[in-house]
Structure 1
Amino acid sequence: MASFSDLSSAKGLKELDTFLLTKSYITGYQASRDDLAVFGAMASAPSAKEYPHAARWYNHIKALLGESFPGQGKGVGLAGASAGASAPAAKMEVDDDSSDSDSDSDLDLFGEMTEEEKAAQEKKKAVIAAAKARAAEKEKKCKSLIVMDIKPWDDETDLKKMEEDVRAITYDGLLWGSSKLVTFAFGMKKLQMTAVIEDTKIPSFDEIIEKDILLLDEDEEVQSELVQSVDILSFNKL
């Protein structure tokens, strides 16, 4: 038998939290009427920070309300509370040897869901489904902003032609942005460009760099006569 002090006190919640440290349910290995009885004896949800195991159990049982509880309870007695009364401050005892009839008497406080409760539950399900749909739609539209340096082979490279060649690369989900020339080693200039990609349509921008920007002839894998290298400066989600 496991006993718990007043569940509205820190002592009682600590005892319950310790009891649930290695258990998922009050008795057995599936949700039962015992869990409902203990749940009903609590005034409010326990603090997840102070009583993580009790809070985990409480939220799980709360989520199951309105659904079936397949487990057969061993019996939960709420000492100090009459049957059918809500007893948030009562001393509670869990007796593995109690009869099912004792458990049933304690569970008089749990009636069938009212029409208002059913409507609230359906509304909650609809809200969750809508949130999931919005998240999925947002994932489809997720984009990334890329800033890259495109370096020429030497100072005689036609940078205007190099930029034209890069912008000529087209993919569904790829949009070339602004560009500018930046001076680097020994006074040479490189092309700095931005691009926006739709992540679901362009799974790998590295392939575009390797197969389209750096290669003059993809079939023969001949490197471009204009582009010496490409460096990604930043890759950020929009």
Structure 2
Amino acid sequence: MSGLQCLATENIWFDKQRYDEAERRFYEGVNGPSSPQQQVKTALQQAKGRQQKRQHRNSSSHGGGDQELVSRMKSLELENQTLHKVVQEMRAALQKLESRVVMLEKSPAAAAVPCAKAAPVKQVKVENGDDDDDDDIDLFGSDDDDEEATRLKQERLDAYAAKKAKKPALIAKSSIILDVKPWDDETDMAQLEQCVRSVQMDGLLWGASKLVPVGYGIKKLQINCVVEDDKVGTDILEEEITKFEDFVQSVDVAAFNKI
């Protein structure tokens, strides 16, 4: 509480000095001028009254400061209690965590994990002549041993060939877009496309086609095909298509992509 608020709640006679002065003049007028001793006494009384006022103000201000200090101390105590509570909760959580870690370390499942990770690699020592296929054949042995070794070798080769035959062979394919250009704008493009599609061979599959304007009313045939790389090449396609000399002027590869 500030000094002004304290003064606002107190009943103080601010004009007491004026009334004292008026009272003194009144008595001087009735009884005549006062003696110097009376004037000194009056001045002392006035000074004493002023000192009492100052003491009252100081006490009120000190009282407000003490109250503020008390409120601050109470807030600090509450904050300190809250911090103590948080620290206790953290300690309890830490103890629980430590107990769980100890239990996991003592459990057999946790103990088996590092053992599995740190398991040494077994090294198989190959003794001379035990697992070597070449040592199975005795060059200085009898004919029966030679026949047995040959039979075993043939069985292994047959088993390997059968295993390899079961695996599907990976066929490399490519997608090719060809630009087939006619001689002029009077060329029958439908007939030209039929001639191109009449080229048939193993590993060739024709796809979609369209006519693309070139200029001066001339259109080229752009046709897509899928080929097997081991069976069909672009050179063979160009050679077979350019055989239709009445319709085809040239063949160009517009795009070539592996599938």
Q: Which one has the bigger strand percentage?
A: 1
- Highest Rg: 1 or 2? 2
Q: Which one has the bigger helix percentage?
A: 2
Same fold (TM over 0.5): no
Return the TM-score normalized by structure 2.
0.36
Return the TM-score normalized by structure 1.
0.39
